[in-house]
């Protein structure tokens, strides 16, 4: 006979609470933590004088540039020149237009956050609103004074260059990635050739080619606006980097996905667009984010071919002889703007990745 042991009824059990690590252990628990803690403390101490400069001795508000000559940070200057840095040499009485463009970009970005809304319709809305933004910046209709692109500057230029180069570059990137994986030799060789060529060049080189060589190569009478040429260079650059990221994603999509779609009779391009690409992109959210952030920062290089992005506008503002050369403050302000943009992209991608992950595990 077997003896029967009585089991108490199974009570619902909560997992035991995870014990908190004491702070001291966290900071000095092992040699590495201790070392890092000490280094961090050292860094903070080293930065204290800078804090003095940035806060205690800083001049926050003044109308008089000479008040800024005592050695503290001159935030009054940033305040005074903020519009110049943000909008460059765009006519001051028209500043509402670039401001509206910034607002529109923010609104579109906010409206596009949820993956639920992604699709052909959202793409079309993006296309239209970008055209509207470009029209608004340029003017020349409905009583809006014409502002040529040579007078555009600052944050809207930075944002438009980043959004347009990534946005226009993306479909080309998809085409290049598909081409590179194609069994047909011509698309494959063209894709590989283009990707390797552009990846082998520094962005500065591509920008110079686009802004200086391109006009010389074009037939007589053809001109492309400098901003347009710069955008073209950034787009080509973005496309090849995105292409390699997307190729990685395509490789990660199981072969059975395409076969299932084939067996269901879904046409090839619809399979790519609805079945394969969404999965490929979901797999490479972190490196895509990385490329997006790099491209946002890369737009600052357009300054060297004379396009007034935010950094260029900032440098121009700092050159005002009335103020005591406040380059550090300008660069810090511009850096802060870039940081805000990039950290926002980064946080968003973390959230997006988590949303995607929640679907694959209950």
Partner 1 sequence: MTAISVSGLNKWYGSYHALRDIDLTVEPGERIVVCGPSGSGKSTLIRCLNRLEDHQSGSIVVNGTPLTDDLKNLSAVRREVGMVFQHFNLFPHLTVLENCALPQILARGTRRAEAEARARRYLERVRIPEQSAKFPGQLSGGQQQRVAIARALCMEPKVMLFDEPTSALDPEMIKEVLETMIALADDGMTMIVVTHEMGFARRVADRVIFMDAGQIVEQAPPEDFFGNPHHARTREFLEQIVH
Side-chain half-sphere of 230: how many Cα atoms within 13 Å?
23
- Smaller CB distance to partner 1: residue 145 or 267? 267
| Least distance CB 125 / partner 1 (angstroms) | 20
**Interface contacts to partner 1, rule CB under 8 A:** 254, 256-257, 259-267, 270-271, 274-275, 278-279, 282, 359-362
In this structure, what is the dihedral angle of CA atoms 259, 260, 264, 266, given to the nearest 10 degrees?
Answer: -60
Provide the minimum distance between the beta carbon of 279 and partner 1 in the complex, in angstroms, as a whole number: 5
212-231 burial string, b = 16+ CB within 10 Å, else e? eebeeeeeeeeeeebbebbb
Q: Which is nearer to partner 1, 119 or 205 (CB)?
A: 119
CB-wise, 185 or 265, nearer to partner 1? 265
Please enumerate in sequence order all residues whose Cβ is within 8 A of that of 182, keeping only pairs 6 or more positions apart, or say none.
Answer: 188, 191
Shortest distance (Å) from residue 262 CB to partner 1: 6
For the CB of residue 266, give the shortest distance to partner 1 in the complex, in Å.
5
User: How many beta carbons lie within 10 A of that of residue 83, not counting itself?
Assistant: 17
Task: Pick the closer one to partner 1 by CB: 50 or 260.
Answer: 260
Our CB check for partner 1 shows the closer of 132 and 260 to be 260
User: Residue 336, exposed/middle/buried by CB under 10 A (0-12, 13-18, 19+)?
Assistant: exposed
CB of 288 to partner 1, least distance (A): 15
- Give the shortest CB-123-to-partner 1 separation in angstroms: 17
Nearer to partner 1, 113 or 260 (CB): 260
Q: How far is the CB of 127 from partner 1 (least distance, A)?
A: 23
Q: Which C-beta is closer to partner 1: that of 6 or that of 254?
A: 254
Residue 17: phi, psi to the nearest 5? -60, 140
Min dist. Cβ of residue 253 to partner 1 (A): 10
Measured distance CA(171)–CA(198) in Å, rounded: 17
Q: Are 275 and 257 in contact (CB under 8 A)?
A: yes
To partner 1, the closest distance from the beta carbon of 254 in angstroms equals 7
Q: How far apart, in whole angstroms, are the C-alpha atoms of residue 272 and residue 282?
A: 14
DSSP 80-139: HHHHHHHHTTS-GGGTHHHHHHHHHHHHHHHHT-SGGG-SHHHHHHHHHHHHHHHHHHH-
Q: What number of CA atoms fall less than 13 Å from residue 67's CA on the CB side?
A: 12
Q: What tokens were used for 34? A: 């201790």
Using the minimum distance from each CB to partner 1, give the nearer residue, 25 or 357.
357
In angstroms, the CA 268 to CA 273 distance is 9
| CB closer to partner 1, 33 vs 251 | 251
Chain Cα centroid distance, residue 186 = 33
- What 8-state DSSP symbol labels residue 342? H
Which CB, 19 or 263, lies closer to partner 1? 263
Q: Min. distance of Cβ 119 from partner 1 in angstroms? A: 12
């Amino acid at each position: 006979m077997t003896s029967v042991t009585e089991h108490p009824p199974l009570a619902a059990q909560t997992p035991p609470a995870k014990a908190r690590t004491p702070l001291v252990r966290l900071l000095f628990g092992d040699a590495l933590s201790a070392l890092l803690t000490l280094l961090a403390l050292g860094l903070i101490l080293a930065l204290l004088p800078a804090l003095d400069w940035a806060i205690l001795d800083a001049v926050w508000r003044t109308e008089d540039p000479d008040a800024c000559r005592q050695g503290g940070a001159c935030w009054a200057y940033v305040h005074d020149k903020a519009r110049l840095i943000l909008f460059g040499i765009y006519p001051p009485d028209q500043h509402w237009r670039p401001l509206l463009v910034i607002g529109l970009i923010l609104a579109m970005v906010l409206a596009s956050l949820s993956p639920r809304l992604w699709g052909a319709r959202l793409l079309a809305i993006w296309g239209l609103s970008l055209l509207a933004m470009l029209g608004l910046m340029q003017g020349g209709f409905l009583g809006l004074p014409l502002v040529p692109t040579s007078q555009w500057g600052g944050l809207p230029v930075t944002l438009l260059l980043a959004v347009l180069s990534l946005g226009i570059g993306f479909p080309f990137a998809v085409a290049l990635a598909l081409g590179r994986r194609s069994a047909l030799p011509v698309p494959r060789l063209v894709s590989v050739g283009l990707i390797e060529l552009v990846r082998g060049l520094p962005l500065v080189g591509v920008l110079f080619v686009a802004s200086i060589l391109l006009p010389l190569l074009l037939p007589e009478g053809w001109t492309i606006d400098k901003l347009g040429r710069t955008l073209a260079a950034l787009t080509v650059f973005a496309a090849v980097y995105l292409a390699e990221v997307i190729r990685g994603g395509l490789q990660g999509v199981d072969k059975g996905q395409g076969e299932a779609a084939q067996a269901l009779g879904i046409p090839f391009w619809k399979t790519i667009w609805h079945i394969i690409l969404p999965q490929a992109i979901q797999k490479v959210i972190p490196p895509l984010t990385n490329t997006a952030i790099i491209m946002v920062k890369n737009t600052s290089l357009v300054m060297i071919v004379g396009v007034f992005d935010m950094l260029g506008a900032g440098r121009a503002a700092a050159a005002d002889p009335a103020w005591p050369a406040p380059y550090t403050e300008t660069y810090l302000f511009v850096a802060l703007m870039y940081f805000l943009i990039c950290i926002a992209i980064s946080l968003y991608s973390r959230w997006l990745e988590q949303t995607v992950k929640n679907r694959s595990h209950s």
